[in-house]
Amino acid sequence: MTKIYVLDTNVLLNDPAAIYAFNEHKVIIPMTVLEELDDIKERRDKDVSREARIAIGTIDRLLADATTKQIQEGVEIYTSIMDEGTPVGTLAIFPDQQLDHDSAANFLTRDLKDNKIINVALSLQYHNPDHYVCLVTKDINMRLKAKGSGLRHVEDYRREKILDDIDLLAKGHDYIEGSFWDNVANVETVREGKQTVHHMDRELFPGYFPNMFVHDDEGFVGMVAGSSDDSLAIRDLNEDRLMHQELWGLKPRNLEQAMACHMLRSPDIDLSIITGPAGSGKTLLALATGLQAIIEDKKYNKLIVARSTPPIAEEIGFLPGTEEEKMAPWLAAFDDNLEILHSGDECPMGSMGYVKEKANIQFKTLSFMRGRSINNAYVIIDESQNLTQFQLKSIITRVGQNSKIVVLGNLSQIDNKYLTPLTSGLTYIVERFKSFEHAGIMHISSIERSRLAAFAEENL
């Protein structure tokens, strides 16, 4: 049976490509949704207005050559991903202004736009009693209203929901109680250059993924160096050596930070994702590694620090100054961390100025990173928990040759009202990239900022 899905506006804002997510079924977009998208595309909130424009553009491309009758009845949706131009469903616009409110469909009043969208689903259900008609919306209250009005099928949009429980999110390391080797019966240890690598049965640790760390109570630390269907290779790392790493004068304070440092320094890892609570050292480690790589090791030409600014920040565009100067209030954390790294210098402020110039540190807003090709750069994306998967994808795809990108985020501090820990772009890329051999993940749980910060994080 062909199912009929009525999409709410917030679904298209969350994922402008949502039209393609319903397989061979029929997608209905009420006229009210188009009106809302038209209003939103002019908002000062650049992130949400951009998604609205992309959604409108997608709909326009699909319906550009269709007649009015075809648009209302349904136009076949094609995507280049499908073989031989196979349609993946149909898309129709429903003229909800023509709804007959004298029918027996139990319509809600027309004074609210949400009601108009619900009425479209109720009308389709009334006139297609043998079909599966479903309203898809991320608005909980709207789902309740629709169910209370007699709509049989109402769903949240779950394409971007990659996990059922945030506790299942990959942390990038596994702790083994006791000895790791108590779990391994057969192992082949070989010397590969300066590295010691242990080859064992893949079935012993089926959940391990590339560049994942493992450590135990006996001091063993290993990192997954490769795997196949039946074999797992773990590179032996020396815990003492890990703890004595030094990056721009900074040494790790705990094993999680040490493993994060090793991951950040690895030349084979192009994308490093570091999650953890406030005060765990994410920004400090990323910044120290970047300065070391640019100034001392001369691997990159510049350090780009970027983050999304909150809606209130849009007004800053009217202030004088460069993009870096306008971004300064939202990137003060990096100045704080630079100050920590140079607190022992004779003239800390002079050192900070020298380092900013020497490392060619550039502060950017994510709004201006789309369309760029970033080469020979060390890129830090801060506060990524507030970005959608679509936004993070568009940023990561900007990274070009000889560049490394470090994504930082804390899923307990989401400020975006459209996101939850389960639907955050940060959660999405952790799960999507964990199997990529050139990506690394590390969750740092220990809070090193202060005992006050640790107490607040755990108890408030």
- If you count them, how many residues does the chain have? 460
Residue 275 CA to residue 152 CA, distance in Å, equals 40
**Closest of 148, 116, 144 to residue 29, by C-alpha:** 116
Domain ranges of the chain: 4-155, 241-459
Would you state the pLDDT for residue 394? 83
Contact 384, 433 (CB under 8 A): no
Which structure tokens are listed for 107? 């319509």
Would you state the pLDDT for residue 161? 60
Contact 173, 184 (CB under 8 A): no
Contact 29, 91 (CB under 8 A): yes
Whether the CA torsion 356, 360, 366, 367 is positive or negative: it is positive
Strand segments, DSSP code E, in 74-136 are: 75-76, 90-94, 133-136
Q: Which CATH superfamily is domain 4-155 in?
A: 5'-nuclease (3.40.50.1010)
Residue 39's CB is within 10 A of a number of other CB atoms, namely 13
Contact 10, 33 (CB under 8 A): no
Would you state the pLDDT for residue 197? 95
Contact 69, 5 (CB under 8 A): no
- ∠ CA 248-252-258 to the nearest 5 degrees? 110
Contact 184, 202 (CB under 8 A): no
* pTM of the predicted structure, to 2 decimals: 0.74
Equal fold, 4-155 vs 241-459 = yes
Residue 303 CA to residue 153 CA, distance in Å, equals 50
- CATH architecture assignment, domain 241-459: 3-Layer(aba) Sandwich (3.40)
Would you state the pLDDT for residue 108? 86
Would you state the pLDDT for residue 379? 95
CA 410 → CA 101, 151, 280, 290, 358, distances in Å? 48, 38, 10, 20, 30
Would you state the pLDDT for residue 79? 63
pLDDT digits (tens, 9 = 90+) for 147-197: 999 999 999 887 656 666 677 889 999 999 999 999 998 999 999 888 999
Would you state the pLDDT for residue 131? 92
Residue 58 CA to residue 417 CA, distance in Å, equals 24
Residue 235 CA to residue 239 CA, distance in Å, equals 12
Could you read off the pLDDT tens digit of each residue along the chain, which spans 460 residues?
789 999 999 999 888 888 888 878 899 999 999 999 999 888 766 667 888 898 999 999 989 889 999 999 999 887 644 444 567 789 999 998 888 766 666 788 888 999 999 999 999 999 999 999 999 998 889 999 999 999 999 998 876 566 666 778 899 999 999 999 999 989 999 998 889 999 999 999 999 999 999 999 999 999 999 998 899 999 999 899 999 999 998 999 999 999 999 999 999 999 999 999 988 999 999 999 999 999 999 999 999 988 766 544 444 455 566 656 666 666 677 788 888 888 878 888 888 888 889 999 888 777 666 667 889 999 999 989 988 887 888 889 888 899 999 999 999 888 877 778 888 889 999 999 999 999 999 999 988 777 787 777 677 6
What backbone torsions phi and psi does residue 221 show, to the nearest 5 degrees?
-130, 130
**Closest of 412, 437, 441, 445 to residue 273, by C-alpha:** 441
Would you state the pLDDT for residue 291? 95
